[in-house]
Amino acid sequence: MPKNKKKKKLQTINSFLKKKDKLITALGVFIALTIFSESVKMPVVNVNFRSFDDVLSYCFFSCSILIWIELWITFPKEKESKLTLKFFKYFISFGSLSLVIIYISTYYINYKPFFDIGILITLMTVVMKLYFYLVDKYRLHSLFKNKIISIISFLASFVAASLLILLLYGIAQNLIDFLLI
């Protein structure tokens, strides 16, 4: 090994916050909006439908989880960060995971039908995004020369993706029932 090789400087909290300040601010804003929208109770419009504040709370909560995942992915590797940055990562992860557990347990106990719809919508979004990514990446829509066969194969794969959503939905529902009840 060459002796004049430069030693890589470890990243600190300060340098990380300078790079990711907007992401951390957005995370805080969406967590605050989640809590605020849950605390403001709007009147129920329909007996069969929960109030709009629950829908807002779920949307803001989902956005905060997506931002937290993006932030967590951008943290430097363990060997490239100082101890304080490692602890910052652990504490922000613990706080976000605690928020997820509290939110899920509260909503699941109080609003099981609404929560089930939220799980279904989330699963549909993830599986359909993966489905269309694979269709575009491997050009599955133009696999066959005959347009009718191509359309039928596209519809068959779409049905398979829908069945996968229902299967994952059943697994997620049973897993949550097992963990929370």
Q: Same domain for 9 and 60?
A: yes
Pair 121, 154: CB distance under 8 Å: no
Q: Looking at residue 47, what is its pLDDT? A: 46
User: Which amino acid is it at 36?
Assistant: F
Please give the residue that has the higher pLDDT: either 22 or 96: 22
The C-alpha atoms of residue 64 and residue 28 are separated, in whole angstroms, by 8
Q: Same domain for 106 and 120?
A: no
Q: Same domain for 121 and 62?
A: no
Q: Same domain for 52 and 102?
A: yes
Asked if the model's pLDDT at residue 46 lies above 60, the reply is: no
How many domains is the chain built from?
2
Q: Same domain for 125 and 70?
A: no
If you average pLDDT over every residue of the chain, what do you get?
Answer: 76
Q: Same domain for 133 and 103?
A: no
Domain that holds residue 178: 112-181
**pLDDT tens sequence across 25-39:** 999 999 999 888 877
Q: Same domain for 17 and 76?
A: yes
Please give the residue that has the higher pLDDT: either 136 or 93: 93
pLDDT band at 176 (very low <50, low <70, confident <90, very high): confident
Q: Same domain for 59 and 98?
A: yes
Domain end call among 80, 110, 140: 110
The C-alpha atoms of residue 25 and residue 1 are separated, in whole angstroms, by 43
- What is the pLDDT averaged over residues 55-60? 80
